[in-house]
Amino acid sequence: MASYHDVLWQTFKEIKDADISDEAVQLLMLELCNMSHNDLYLHYNDEMPEDLYKQYQDGVKRLLNNEPLQYIVGHQWFYGYQINVNPEVLIPRYETEELVANVLADSDYYFKDREEITIADVGTGSGSIAIALKKEEPKFRMYATDISDTALKQAQENADFNECEVTFYQGDMLQPLIDRNIKLDILVSNPPYIPVHQEVQKSVEEYEPHVALFGGNDGLFFYRKIFENAHKVIKEHSFMAFEIGYDEKDAIVAELKKHFPLDRYDVLKDLNGKDRMLFVYHNLEE
Ligand code: GLN
């Protein structure tokens, strides 16, 4: 058998003309072997065990077929937590960690003295947002909804895996909360927001669940649905936090104003400098 070093360099040669990066291949090796970068360098010249080698070769083949690394290794890291994924759930994105960070900051600012804060993640998918928020802020009474039973199963598994208490409800957007008369201090959502006809990366198009990606002709379908019904679930003093598409700011704000004309709002950029989050403050003083 060959050493980790030789196996890796052999692959680098093989993928030279392919559309995958050296970094993806190296990450595949690290995740399969459960190693950090440091571990790998320390063991660079050791022989790679046969079973890992087989899994690795299989993984490289799948990468070459545009399959996302996260589905191959079965997880993604999100806000420091391991979130297991399968093709029924969207892979958590780095931008969404920024949504989580800003919700935590605003919650601290507006609800500092509260003992319990009721919050829901609408369209939770893998559960990443709900789990990260609850882990970071134990004062949250955390609810999460999703229309997909298979997504919820994965989300519940992730919550258990991370020893995290989240109450999951199956249903369409806000409906499970409306049905149970739950009133929120904070509503969070990263709904599907890509316009149906917009082109997306091959790996996204071919492997990720379309139900979690596409938001109708203009990408706004789910924001409309939430804005129309949000009055039924948010408390008198509350805020809403959304991830949005980088080019959807004006259209979403216009939609928001139809239902919440008096509320203060803020559009925040992600680390790439793109409009990515909408925060709406409902009767909360700055
Ligand atoms: N940001 C994701 C992407 O570009 C889309 C996530 C979503 O629709 N909420 O693939």
Which tokens in the block code for residue 187? 């509503």
> If you count DSSP H runs as helices and E runs as strands, how many of each does the chain have, helices first?
12, 9
Both structure tokens of 224? 């409309």
CB 213 near ligand 1, within 6 Å: yes
Residue whose CB lies within 8 A of the most ligand 1 atoms, among 71, 189, 193, for a mutation test: 193
pLDDT at 214 over 90: yes
Beta bridge mates, 194: 214
Query: To which H or E segment does residue 155 belong?
Result: helix 149-161
Closest atom of ligand 1 to CA, residue 243: 9
Q: Both ends of the chain: CA-CA distance in Å?
A: 64
The ligand 1 atom nearest the CA atom of 192: 8
User: For residue 146, what is the enclosing H or E element?
Assistant: strand 140-146
CB 194 within 8 A of CB 200: yes
**How far is residue 128's CA from residue 284's CA, in Å, rounded to a whole number?**
27
Considering only CA atoms, which residue is closest to atom 5 of ligand 1? Answer: 213
How many angstroms does the Cα of residue 88 sit away from the middle of ligand 1?
14
Largest CA distance in the chain: 68
Q: Which atom of ligand 1 is nearest to the CA of 191?
A: 9
The reply to whether ligand 1 has any atom less than 6 angstroms from the CB of 194 is: yes
Query: Which is nearest to 156 in space by CA: 93, 100, 83?
Result: 83
Structure tokens at 25: 């291949």
**Sheet harboring 140-146: ordered strands across?**
167-170, 140-146, 117-122, 184-189, 234-243, 275-282, 264-269
Quick one: pLDDT at residue 37? 93
Of the candidates 188, 203, 178, the residue with the CA atom closest to the CA atom of residue 64: 203
Average pLDDT over residues 243-257: 98
Predicted TM-score (pTM) of the model is 0.95
Q: What is the mean pLDDT of residues 133-153?
A: 98
Pocket probe mutation, ligand 1, options 243, 271, 275, max atoms within 8 Å of Cβ: 243
Q: Is 127 in the pocket of ligand 1 (CB under 6 A)?
A: no
* 1 pLDDT more than 90: no
pLDDT greater than 90 at residue 139: yes
Whether 245 is in the pocket of ligand 1, judged by its Cβ within 6 Å, is no
The pLDDT, as a whole number, for residue 221 is: 97
Q: Does residue 235 carry a pLDDT above 90?
A: yes
Does residue 19 register a pLDDT over 90? no
Radius of gyration of the chain (CA): 21
Structure confidence at residue 35 (pLDDT): 94
For range 142-155, the mean pLDDT: 98
| For the chain, percent of residues with pLDDT exceeding 90 | 97
Which positions ≥6 away from 143 have C-beta within 8 Å?
118, 119, 120, 121, 130, 166, 167, 168, 169, 177, 182, 184
Q: Write down the pLDDT at residue 59.
A: 97
Distance 192 CA to ligand 1 centre (A): 7
Residue pair 81/130 in contact by the 8 Å Cβ criterion: no
CA dihedral angle for residue 206, residue 208, residue 213, residue 214, rounded to 10 degrees: 30
pLDDT per position as a tens digit, 106-135? 999 999 999 999 999 999 999 999 999 999
Helix or strand (DSSP H, E) at 266 = strand 264-269
- The tens digit of pLDDT for each residue in 155-199 reads 999 999 999 999 999 999 999 999 999 999 999 999 999 999 999
Contact 41, 83 (CB under 8 A): no
DSSP secondary structure letter of residue 91: P
Ligand 1 centroid vs 194 CA: distance in angstroms?
A: 6
pLDDT at 33: 93
Average the pLDDT over 263-280 and give the result.
98
Q: Which of 13-22, 190-199, 220-229 has the lowest mean pLDDT?
A: 13-22
Q: Is 211 in the pocket of ligand 1 (CB under 6 A)?
A: no
| Residues 61-82: tens digit of each pLDDT | 999 999 999 999 999 999 999 9
Check if the beta carbon of residue 256 is closer than 8 Å to that of residue 236.
no
Which string of DSSP letters, residue by residue, matches 93-112?
A: PHHHHHHHHHHHHHHHHHST
CA of 269 to the centre of ligand 1 (A): 15
